[in-house]
Structure 1
Amino acid sequence: MKTFIRDTMMIIMIAGVTIVGLKFTAQRFVIDGPSMATSFRDGEQLVVNKLVYEFHEPERGDVIVFRPPDNPRDEYIKRIIGLPGESVEVRDGVVFIHNGDGSAFPLDEPYVSTPAERDFKGDMIPENNYFVLGDNRNNSSDSRGDWTVPSQTIVGKAWLSVWPPAEWGLVFDYYADG
């Protein structure tokens, strides 16, 4: 009987530690709307890694979940396009990254099925901020709305698609550094 109680207590403790650990390291995110189509479908469920940016800075191509500056109670999912010190331009459907030294390069974006219909030229991205776009360029509220994502509002990086079963798998990033 003592062994049974001890084993049961051990299982409860391990389960508790696991649940608490997951609360701080991962969270579920449900895609709401078409802004990331064709990469993700409305209703698709992802696991977000909340610890990854404790070990390195966000990178171009990362799909992140963040709290938007105009509505911090909400959470959005978008792809990082521009990094601090750069500026982003959309011209004739092609995204260009302008570096601080005046050079620019176009992004290779295989995840975009329909290019943006309107042109855009942004200002330099402030330190500790990121320029994000939805993969569905013509149906996305993103950094073209005159805002960037401060690093402290990033919840985490999309890591795993878990629902529906047909979409199960790792979320891949595209590092399009010209």
Structure 2
Amino acid sequence: MHFDLAKTLVGLTFATGLIWAIDHWFFAKRRAAEVPAGEAPREPVLVEYARSFFPVLLIVLLFRSFLAEPFRIPTGSMMPTLLVGDFILVNKFAYGIRLPVLDKKIIDIGEPERGDVVVFRYPKNPQEDYIKRVIGKPGDEVSYRNKRLYINGKEMPQDSHGPYAGTDQESRDLVRRNAESLQENLETVQHRIITIPGEQVGMDFTVTVPPGHYFVMGDNRDRSSDSRFWGFVPEQNLVGKAFVIWMAWRGFGDGVVEFGRLGTLIK
């Protein structure tokens, strides 16, 4: 069963706030009047918990809804930029302020730029969060031929950095398959990608991004389920822009924590 943290936070914040407010306005004064002079009235346990937790829940709700939200990377589709076990923070106001749960934009701040690493609700199952890189903006013509990317007819340059090297479990599998590390230039953003020579994932194609949608791809080009397979990301599905790695948990078999990645800005 899917656990919706946003709805849970809203519900708990509303419930604790309501309990505290009702007690304050209707019952607290009556209890104070019934207590002998000099003694402090005792709050019911439920009211005490509500008063204690409401401010904390409210702060967490506001921070998570309008400022930043933490996510954990579960797959290797964004390698080498993001590794399995990386914990990231996502800027929730980069593309506009949205109401929690309703996901209705109330303030328009900006829009994704080509090369942004974005978290979004998977179009085929909005209960799942995906993370990919923006390749095509509304109106762009995106082509992919022989593992080379073309945007509006212009090839995005790629420079080889030799065989891909890594020590975590996902990286070791790529090393065994002779994966190659390249630097791709998306005009405004330069970033690393991984390809596996001899493997053809998906068909070559040319598409035009419709209004209000984005074309996204993973940096691990031959190990990513992205717009090449399931289509475009609607603007209303955007959650925010990934901007920093705050924890890199590798598990006990791979050194537990990779301290060198902590605080790494995501580009």
TM (norm. structure 2) is 0.54
**Higher relative helix content:** 2
Q: Which one of 218, 224, 227 corresponds to residue 134 of structure 1? A: 218
Q: Distance in 2 between matches of 1:72 and 1:14?
A: 30
Q: Distance in 2 between matches of 1:36 and 1:17?
A: 33
Q: Which structure exhibits the higher relative contact order, with contacts defined as CA atoms closer than 8 Å and separated by 6 or more residues?
A: 1
8 Å contact kept, 1:120–1:144: no
CA deviation profile, 1:107-161 (whole Å, cap 9, x unmatched): 2414113268545213211101000000000010000014100010011000110
What letter corresponds to residue 195 of structure 2 in structure 1? T
What letter corresponds to residue 262 of structure 2 in structure 1? W
Q: Which one of 154, 175, 181 corresponds to residue 105 of structure 1? A: 154
2:205 corresponds in structure 1 to 121
1:79 corresponds in structure 2 to 133
Partner SS state of residue 60, structure 2 = helix
Q: Distance in 2 between matches of 1:167 and 1:14?
A: 33
Flag the structure with larger Rg. 2
TM (norm. structure 1) is 0.80
8 Å contact kept, 1:122–1:144: no
Q: Is 143-152 or 163-172 further displaced after alignment? A: 163-172
Q: Distance in 1 between matches of 2:145 and 2:71?
A: 32
CA deviation profile, 1:74-124 (whole Å, cap 9, x unmatched): 0000000011111211112210012xxxxx112241411326854521321
Q: Which one of 146, 149, 163 corresponds to residue 233 of structure 2? A: 149
Partner SS state of residue 135, structure 1 = coil
For structure 1, list consecutive stretches of 5 or more residues without a partner in the other structure: 1-11, 99-103, 174-178
For structure 2, list consecutive stretches of 5 or more residues without a partner in the other structure: 1-52, 97-108, 158-183, 185-190, 249-258
